[in-house]
Amino acid sequence: MKGPSQLGPIDVSALSGLLDGDHAEVRTRVREQLATYASLVYEAPGLTTADYRARVLEVLHTAVPSGLTRLGFPKEYGGSGDIGGSIAAFETLALGDLSVLVKFGVQFGLFGGAILHLGSAKHHERYLEDVMSGRLLGCFAMTETGHGSNVQALRTTATYDPDHGRFLVHTPDLSARKDYIGNSARDGELAVVFAQLEVGGEQHGVHAILVPIRDADGAPLPGVQIEDCGHKLGLNGVDNGRLTFDRVAVSRDNLLDRYAQVDESGSYTSAIDNPDRRFFTMLGTLVQGRVSVGGGALGAAKVALALATRYALQRRQFGAPGAEDEALLMDYRVHQRRLLPLVARTYALHFTQAGLVATLHRVFSLDDDAGDAREHERRELESAAAGIKSLTTWHATQTIQTCREACGGAGYLSANRFGMLKADTDVFTTFEGDNTVLLQLVAKGLLTDYRDSFEQLDPIGMARYVAGLAVESVAERTSWWQLAERLRDAVPGGDDDNAGLLDREYHLAMYRWRDDHVRSAVARRLKRGIDRGDDAFDVFSSCQDHVVLAARVHVERVVLEAFAEAVDSCPDGPQRMVLSALCDLSALGGIENDRGWFQEHGRLSGERAKAITTMVGALCEELRPHARDLVDAFGIPEELLDVEMLR
């Protein structure tokens, strides 16, 4: 069996440059910024919630002169017009205190982003400068106590009152209360409220409207009730709260009216006729939040890996015979197996994320409303963002947990950072879309070819839609049957044939085959159930785990393709070789994890599956001498790694 090749010494700064990519300059600026408040990561566990919130706000205000808060806004309003840079900045901020990260995300991403994308020039002129400068703090009030993922079912109302040319924003009952709203319990003055718009007795679906919630002294405005969500598992530097509105009157101008307008007389207009399409077009402009969360999760995972790797290269335990010292943790196979595949997957997801950010930058830097092609591109971007966010945030949860355990008791002390890394990132799998729901959205996009309004997760509709047309279209689109035939020849799989385990084409073929196969299979199951006349909800429900699997394996394919492309575009030399080894480890580790499925479907013999397990171990061993370099290349400021256990 061909083993992994010998890797030469790595140039860490060159590798770091490959990771930093197009936004190296922005990342460098953020790293400098991070160093100015690095102490917060060590002090935060001992702060009261009140003090922590105050510190986080202070950091936000201090960051304004650096210009980082302006990156994502248009130049004509005082921004930098650098959307990709703004995400890169967010990703890098995630190396430091995560309450600061989320406070920034709420203020400049969600709140500022909603005004930018859903508002029109009058809103931009009036608010953006104050948003960027942090003079106007605000909230993104979408989620309600009774509705999170199903945004179309929100129940807060905004009713137009033509007699006074105003909207009345109202919370009909407790389940319609806005909940978990960041920046609302303490600081926010203005909220972007998502509400069912009613004009002249007619319902127009969910729209966003600006509602002032606090006066200059910080007191809730009349009719607005603000509650504190109280202590949270993590992110206690962010003031999450609950908002209840009792027929709060706001000016007609407060409707964020880029996609729909209400004139003084109470006549509703929109360039998008279909209400679903209109709604999901609006929501789609907010995709940046999801992309940011995924990138932030990776930043936190990198910190955990850097800490655990350095510890494993310092801490000794039990002995090799005759040796003076005990053996380093990192010299144990089990320890390599715990950490190095996670390092490899972090690289894989990093390059995937970088590609996603580049696409986002391109799509959002163009004029919008440019027809169907553009819309298709946006739907694809949204789908990719949803899928990649799911995988990166789950990866972060798993990675930080594993790193904590790999540092034993030391990992449990707050001084060593894992406590807050774990707690703060835990909700990343939930916010900006629950991962399980997001994967169903991805699957819907795959099965319906984005022809339907994308963000709407209507399980029944999906099942019916697929039954109606998808099998043929899916099968045609993916050419699954032909592909399967071609692969049967191309992919080695015989018991004694262990050649090609490190062949990138083999990895890609396996991932693509699984993607195509699961997608077709789930389409056929949905169709069969509907054709049989079964209840559509039951049909969907019985396939739901299969639907989620289809999405997951599709995104896994996207990840491998992105990493493979990054390796291909890297110049020859030791950095390329190490990236290639990481790509091998990530690809084979993924096949190893799912080797049950591959064997079930005749794509992997038992012998070859065992050979893959062996090869994953060999790759870990090969990468072991480079472990420190691999995590150093993440470019984490030393101030943020200055933990007790490494002193």
Residues 365-384 that bind a second copy (CB under 8 A): none
Round to whole Å and give the CA distance between 428 and 375: 27
Binding span for a second copy by CB under 8 A among 96-104, 128-136, 431-439, 632-640: 431-439
Residue 442 near residue 386 (C-beta atoms within 8 A): yes
Shortest Cβ 434–a second copy spacing (Å): 6
Binding span for a second copy by CB under 8 A among 261-269, 370-378, 455-463, 577-585: 455-463
Binders in 335-364 for a second copy, by CB under 8 A: 337
- Report the residue number, 516 or 592, with the smaller CB distance to a second copy: 592
Question: Binding to a second copy by residue 409, rule CB under 8 A?
Answer: yes
Round to whole Å and give the CA distance between 428 and 293: 7
Question: Binding to a second copy by residue 504, rule CB under 8 A?
Answer: no
Sole residue written with tokens 């986002």? 360
Binders in 97-136 for a second copy, by CB under 8 A: none
Tokens of 270: 């929109």
Question: Binding to a second copy by residue 230, rule CB under 8 A?
Answer: yes
Binders in 538-597 for a second copy, by CB under 8 A: 541-545, 548, 592, 594-597
In this structure, the strands spanning 316-319 and 326-328 are: antiparallel
CA 359 vs CA 288, 362, 366, 382: distances in Å: 11, 5, 11, 11
Q: Computed from CA positions of residues 472, 474, 479, 480, in that sequence, does the dihedral angle turn out positive or negative?
A: negative
Sole residue written with tokens 């040319």? 165
Q: Which candidate, 4, 2, 3, places its Cα nearest to that of 582?
A: 4
Sole residue written with tokens 């073929």? 509
Q: Which candidate, 109, 101, 25, places its Cα nearest to that of 73?
A: 109
In this structure, the strands spanning 224-228 and 202-212 are: unpaired
DSSP-assigned letter for residue 4: P
Round to whole Å and give the CA distance between 397 and 573: 33
Shortest Cβ 229–a second copy spacing (Å): 6
Residues in contact with a second copy, shown as a per-residue x/- string from 457 to 476 under the rule CB under 8 A: xxxx----------------
Number of residues that bind a second copy (CB under 8 A): 81
Q: Which residues contact 319 (CB under 8 A, 6 or more apart)?
A: 325, 326, 327
Question: Binding to a second copy by residue 483, rule CB under 8 A?
Answer: no
Binders in 616-645 for a second copy, by CB under 8 A: 617
Q: Binder to a second copy among 201, 273, 318, 324 (CB under 8 A)? A: 318
- Report the residue number, 402 or 580, with the smaller CB distance to a second copy: 402
Binders in 20-79 for a second copy, by CB under 8 A: 45-46, 48-49
Question: Binding to a second copy by residue 387, rule CB under 8 A?
Answer: no
Sole residue written with tokens 């039951």? 538
In this structure, the strands spanning 190-199 and 224-228 are: unpaired
Partnered with residue 261 across adjacent β-strands are 269
Binding span for a second copy by CB under 8 A among 76-84, 209-217, 319-327, 355-363: 319-327
- Report the residue number, 58 or 644, with the smaller CB distance to a second copy: 644
Binding span for a second copy by CB under 8 A among 115-123, 365-373, 413-421, 478-486: 413-421
- Report the residue number, 274 or 314, with the smaller CB distance to a second copy: 314
Round to whole Å and give the CA distance between 645 and 408: 11
Shortest Cβ 61–a second copy spacing (Å): 26
- Report the residue number, 120 or 149, with the smaller CB distance to a second copy: 149
Question: Binding to a second copy by residue 332, rule CB under 8 A?
Answer: yes
Question: Binding to a second copy by residue 237, rule CB under 8 A?
Answer: no
Question: Binding to a second copy by residue 498, rule CB under 8 A?
Answer: no
If residue 120 lies in a helix (H) or strand (E), which one and from where to where? none
Residues in contact with a second copy, shown as a per-residue x/- string from 131 to 170 under the rule CB under 8 A: ------------x--xxxxx--x-----------------
Q: Binder to a second copy among 35, 221, 249, 327 (CB under 8 A)? A: 327
Binding span for a second copy by CB under 8 A among 107-115, 285-293, 552-560, 598-606: 598-606
Q: Binder to a second copy among 134, 237, 419, 529 (CB under 8 A)? A: 419
Binding span for a second copy by CB under 8 A among 128-136, 223-231, 266-274, 282-290: 223-231
Tokens of 220: 């809730």
Helices assigned H by DSSP within 251-286: 275-284
E strands of 246-314, at which residues?
248-251, 261-262, 268-269
**Helix 574-593 vs helix 333-365: crossing angle, to nearest 10:** 100
Binders in 176-195 for a second copy, by CB under 8 A: 179-180
Count CA atoms within 13 Å of residue 578 on its CB side: 27
Round to whole Å and give the CA distance between 494 and 503: 16
Shortest Cβ 518–a second copy spacing (Å): 12
Binding span for a second copy by CB under 8 A among 2-10, 361-369, 453-461, 558-566: 453-461
Tokens of 56: 């986080």
